[in-house]
Amino acid sequence: MTHAIEKDIAAPTNAYEAVAGPQRLGMLMRIRIELRKLVDTRSSRAILLTTFVTMVIFGGGIQLLTGKPDEFSSLIQHAAVPLIYLFPAVGLLTAAGEWQHGTASWTYCLDPHRSAVLLAKHGAALLMSFAGVILMVLVCLVLGPLSGTALPGVEQAFPVVGRTVLSVVAMTLLGIGLGSALLQPVLGLAIFLIAPQLLPQLIAVIPAISGLAPYVNINGVLIGILLGQHHGELMQRLSALVLWIVVPVLIGFWRNSRRSA
């Protein structure tokens, strides 16, 4: 009799756990969800379309129309400019947009593991960066020969493409880091577009701290990577990367884990 009562009491609990028990999403599923979110908004789609159009223009379209061929490395570098400046905006919007539009409560209700969700956003943005670079190379490979540009061998092309990947990935991380740290899309975009250019110049004109300007010049570091040129000393480059990428990313994880949805 006692055994039967205990069985009846335990049954509803087990049934509830079977039906309503939390199921942890895998990271691949989270990344798939975040990839879909990247193209869910009109602003993101507009930025991606603008990126593709300008990439085609810089990646051989101008040379094709003017009939003036260019070196393949120059085509890659020119075509990478839209990716470097527009992909970070998409990453920033996907990191901060949910807080702006009030959908963060739904996201974290369905998946309460906030750090994992933000990590998936980073993964989705990086996959977008790699896909963008691959598409850019294909565009240059198609439009380059049509405009008379000679294609290099793999040994010559690989370093150029590798530097482009590093530049695009670094800038994308900068964008999503600012978005997750500030949680305000408009403020994040303003800081992303203005601060990296303005801050080193402001520091350079103040005699007492002018020597610190190279340590915060992230644009100089990333342009140097893209062009294969060393910009400043090693510690200056590392300092700029830590200040503009590592610090915002860490602050973003901290703020997302603590802010009330």
Residue range of the domain that includes 62? 25-258
d(CA 119, CA 17): 28
Contact 225, 163 (CB under 8 A): yes
Q: Which amino acid is at 199?
A: L
Residue 4 lies in a domain: no
- DSSP string over 170-225: HHHHHHHHHHHHH--HHHHHHHHHHHHHHHHHHHHTSGGGGGGGGGG-HHHHHHHH
In-domain check, residue 144: yes
Q: What pTM, to 2 d.p., does this model score?
A: 0.83
pLDDT in single tens digits along all 261 residues of the chain: 445 444 444 444 443 344 444 456 789 999 998 998 888 778 788 888 998 988 888 777 777 776 666 788 888 888 898 999 889 998 898 888 877 766 777 777 878 888 999 999 999 999 999 999 999 988 888 887 877 777 777 677 888 889 999 999 999 999 999 999 999 999 999 999 999 999 999 999 999 999 999 999 999 999 888 888 876 788 999 999 999 999 999 999 999 888 775
Position 3 in a domain = no
Domain assignment of residue 12, yes or no: no
Residue 8 in domain: no
Domain assignment of residue 159, yes or no? yes
**Burial classification of residue 180, based on how many CB atoms lie within 10 Å of its CB (0-12 exposed, 13-18 middle, 19 or more buried):** buried
For 129-162, the pLDDT digits (tens) are 999 999 998 888 888 787 777 777 767 788 888 9
The secondary structure of the chain in percent helix, strand, coil, rounded to multiples of 5, reads 85, 0, 15
Domain contains 13:
no
Report the number of distinct structural domains present in the chain.
1
Residue 223 tokens read as: 């342009």
Alpha helices in 57-113 (DSSP H): 62-66, 72-101, 104-110
Residue 96 near residue 9, CB atoms below 8 Å: no
Is there a domain that residue 14 lies in?
A: no
